[in-house]
Structure 1
């Protein structure tokens, strides 16, 4: 799964790296090394063909699903075309750019956090689904989730799920509104970066505490 991530550059930095120098910005989010669910974070998406970077609430629950389906922070790739996610897959595709994400290993009470990132240290373009707009009672009605898939290779040593990360060119295709829901799901399955594109290091347990932030959060520690 993806329950925390490192978004320690500005939204404009990520957009520039993505080639979106002409994007419309409606984001006031500050860089954060320890992003947690329930916060507003910048997403890149297309709105009527215009490139937008907007702050969106990380957590989602469809309006009709209150008391039926729990609030989600991730969406499993193998379930993207089911009833719950299909409308977002068709109309709510987005990219959450980041520098890395965190996973934990070990037994409860003694869990070790890890920072996972691209080997070349370029930004991650994590696939996201979002409902852009207003909400009535529950903020999560207008929120986003990170798309995840089964981990494979050496990543299984860290966690059995991982965010779906694409290269910039494939991530741009993911945002193409001419792509059908089925085509978008197939693109995600076919072009997701493999485990060998990533590396990871141990970090301190300060990341465990929601609201704790700063560069030291992502720094490697000795075994």
Structure 2
């Protein structure tokens, strides 16, 4: 899964790295090294033929499921075509740009955080499903989840699942409203960047607390090798 991510750059730089000349910006969220569920984060999506950047609540639960299901922050790639996620796969595809994400290893009470990022230092374009528009009862009715997939063995020492990350061109295709649900799922499966594209290192436990922020959170522990 992905329970925190590092989104420490401004939205305009992410859009530039995405390869688009411009976008409609409806985002006021500040960069953070420690984005946590329940906060509002910038996401990219297409609206009326233009790339939009909107702040959206990280966490989603359909309005009808308020008494039945928990708020989700991730959606498994294997399930995104089911009845619950299928509508968002058709109308709510989005991309969350970031610099990395965090995973934890070890026993409860002694959890070790890791910062995971692209080896080449480029931004991540993480696939998301979102419901845009106003909510009626709970802000999670209009929120997003990150799509996750099996780590395929390459990250097994850190975690058995990872966000689905595409390169900029494939992420732009994911946003294309003309793409069918079946094509979108196939794109996510076939074009996701593999474990060999990522590097990771241990970081300090300050990141364990959602209220902590700052560049020190992504500094590797002393003597930690950086790929």
By the TM > 0.5 criterion, same fold?
yes
> What is the match of residue 69 of structure 2?
69
SS across alignment from 1:83:
coil
3-state SS, counterpart of residue 103 of structure 1:
strand
Q: How many pairs are equivalent?
A: 223
Q: Distance in 1 between matches of 2:15 and 2:87?
A: 26
Instruction: Kindly provide the CA deviation profile for residues 61-83 of structure 1, in whole angstroms up to 9, marking residues without a partner as x.
Output: 00111111110000000000000
RMSD: 0.7
Structure 1, residues 138-163: CA drift from partner, whole Å, max 9, x if none? 00000000000111233011001100
Equivalent in the alignment of 2:36 = 36
Alpha-carbon contact 2:153-2:160 (below 8 Å) kept: no
Q: What corresponds to 2:25 in structure 1?
A: 25
Q: Secondary structure at the match of 2:154?
A: helix
State how far apart, in whole Å, the 1-side matches of 2:2 and 2:23 are.
27
Aligned mates of 2:41, 2:25 — CA distance in 1: 12
Gaps of at least 5 residues in structure 1 are none
Corresponding residue number in structure 2 for 1:206: 206
1:51 Cα deviation after fit: 1.0
Partner deviation per Cα, 1:163-208 (whole Å, 9 max, x = no partner): 0000111101100111001110010000000000000000000000
Q: Secondary structure at the match of 1:126?
A: strand
What secondary structure does 1:170 align onto? helix
Higher share of residues assigned helix:
1
Matched, 1:218 2:218: yes
Q: For residues 167 and 210 of structure 2, what CA distance do their matches in structure 1 show? A: 29
* Structure-2 residue corresponding to 1:91: 91
What is the Cα deviation at residue 16 of structure 1? 1.0
Q: TM-score, normalised by structure 2?
A: 0.97
1:133 aligns with 133
CA distance in 2, matches of 1:82, 1:201: 35
Which residue in 2 is equivalent to 1:153? 153
Segments of 5+ residues of structure 2 without an aligned counterpart are none
> What's the CA shift for 1:49?
1.1
What is the match of residue 10 of structure 2?
10
Aligned equivalents of 2:51, 2:100: Cα separation in 1? 23
